[in-house]
């Protein structure tokens, strides 16, 4: 049953660490190598990107756009976050981790969380129960093999299924981000067990550079995200607000866009009242204080 009210006028009495008024979660999506590619033996090539001339056969052009993420985008983003001393959640497709385990290991070495983002970069729509159970387990196993730790967080690309949350609880996940309906975490009942939802966001997300051209420049993206942060910080005097900022190695990792991330991090530092944390840190704090 849909919940169209949420917390209503009664927000939970949860405060972020050190009295900070906003929890900020940067999510760096790691999908490179998990996209569809005829050169990898798939029947088709990935159809979502800045390339407009679709090819039925091998397409080294679109393949190379994805390769940019691991070859250059990762290092650019990782070093920028390290310079700011800010952690993020690496939302990783299992096949991407299997093919580039060094990247997941480097993320952990730098103090970031690695969470699950499906096996391939694809929607879960149409997956049967056993097929989806395998997808979740296989993704988690790939992350554990690379990092030594089973992931605790999950985000399905696009549509989850009626089974997703039950399967995540079954396989020991702490939270999922398969919702876009709030700026505050909340818990749901899954077969009699409480399960945490950390809502995600598509507006404060660099995907808008390619899907809608909503942001023409990095400055526009930074301005929009900083405006969102300022408003949520204002509401944070009363509500335990959370801001999700979605990034992609091959998108914001480009030289003409990376300055946006630097500007956002500088703005948050200047405000001084935001808590930049991994989604796992946010989830554990919430569960410890929300009752």
CATH fold of the domain at 17-289: TIM Barrel (3.20.20)
Segment 263-289 shows an average pLDDT of 98
Give residue 117's pLDDT band: very low, low, confident or very high (50, 70, 90): very high
Residue 51 pLDDT > 70, yes or no?
no
Task: Identify the pLDDT of residue 15.
Answer: 97
Q: How far apart are CA 69 and CA 261, in angstroms?
A: 16
Least-confidence region, from 56-60, 123-127, 166-170 = 56-60
Backbone phi, then psi, for 78, in 5-degree steps? -60, -40
Task: Identify the pLDDT of residue 61.
Answer: 84
pLDDT tens across 208-250, in order? 988 777 899 999 999 999 999 999 999 999 999 999 999 999 9
Residue 35 pLDDT > 70, yes or no?
yes
Decide: 274 and 22 in contact? Cβ < 8 Å. yes
Helices (H), the chain: 60-68, 74-84, 94-99, 101-109, 129-147, 164-170, 208-211, 218-235, 258-271, 279-289
Task: Identify the pLDDT of residue 50.
Answer: 60
Residue 54 pLDDT > 80, yes or no?
no
Task: Identify the pLDDT of residue 78.
Answer: 98
Task: Identify the pLDDT of residue 257.
Answer: 96
Q: Where are the domains of the chain?
A: 17-289
Segment 78-82 shows an average pLDDT of 98
Q: Burial level of 195, CB count in 10 A (0-12/13-18/19+)?
A: middle
Task: Identify the pLDDT of residue 60.
Answer: 85
Give residue 1's pLDDT band: very low, low, confident or very high (50, 70, 90): confident
Task: Identify the pLDDT of residue 76.
Answer: 98
Residue 84 pLDDT > 80, yes or no?
yes
User: Using CA of residue 284, residue 253, residue 155, residue 112, what is the dihedral sign?
Assistant: negative
Decide: 249 and 243 in contact? Cβ < 8 Å. no
Decide: 279 and 198 in contact? Cβ < 8 Å. yes
Return the C-alpha torsion angle 171, 172, 178, 182, nearest 10: 160
Q: Which helix (H) or strand (E) holds 276?
A: strand 274-276
Structure tokens at 152: 């605790």
Model's pTM, two decimal places?
0.96
In the chain, the percentage of residues whose pLDDT exceeds 70 is 98
Give residue 147's pLDDT band: very low, low, confident or very high (50, 70, 90): very high
């Amino acid at each position: 049953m849909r919940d169209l009210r949420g917390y209503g006028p009664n927000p939970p009495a949860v405060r972020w660490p050190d009295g900070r008024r906003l929890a900020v979660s940067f999510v760096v999506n790691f999908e490179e190598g998990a996209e569809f590619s005829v050169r990898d033996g798939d029947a088709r090539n990935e159809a979502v990107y800045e390339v407009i001339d679709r090819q039925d056969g091998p397409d080294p052009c679109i393949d190379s756009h994805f390769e940019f993420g691991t070859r250059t985008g990762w290092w650019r983003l990782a070093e920028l976050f390290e310079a700011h001393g800010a952690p993020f959640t690496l939302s990783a497709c299992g096949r991407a981790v299997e093919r580039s385990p060094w990247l997941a290991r480097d993320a952990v070495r730098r103090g970031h969380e690695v969470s699950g983002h499906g096996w391939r970069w694809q929607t879960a729509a149409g997956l049967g129960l056993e097929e989806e159970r395998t997808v979740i387990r296989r993704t988690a196993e790939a992350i554990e093999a690379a990092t030594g730790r089973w992931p605790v967080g999950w985000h399905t690309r696009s549509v989850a299924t009626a089974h997703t949350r039950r399967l995540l609880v079954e396989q020991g996940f702490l939270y999922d981000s398969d919702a876009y309906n709030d700026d505050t975490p909340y818990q749901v009942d899954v077969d009699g067990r409480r399960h945490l939802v950390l809502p995600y966001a598509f507006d404060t997300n660099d995907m808008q550079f390619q899907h809608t051209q909503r942001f023409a420049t990095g400055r526009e993206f930074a301005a929009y995200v900083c405006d969102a942060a300022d408003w949520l910080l204002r509401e944070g005097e009363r509500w335990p607000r959370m801001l999700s900022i979605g990034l992609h190695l091959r998108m914001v990792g480009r030289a003409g866009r990376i300055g946006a991330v630097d500007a956002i991090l500088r703005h948050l530092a200047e405000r001084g009242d935001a808590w930049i944390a991994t989604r796992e840190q946010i989830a554990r704090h919430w569960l410890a204080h929300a009752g």
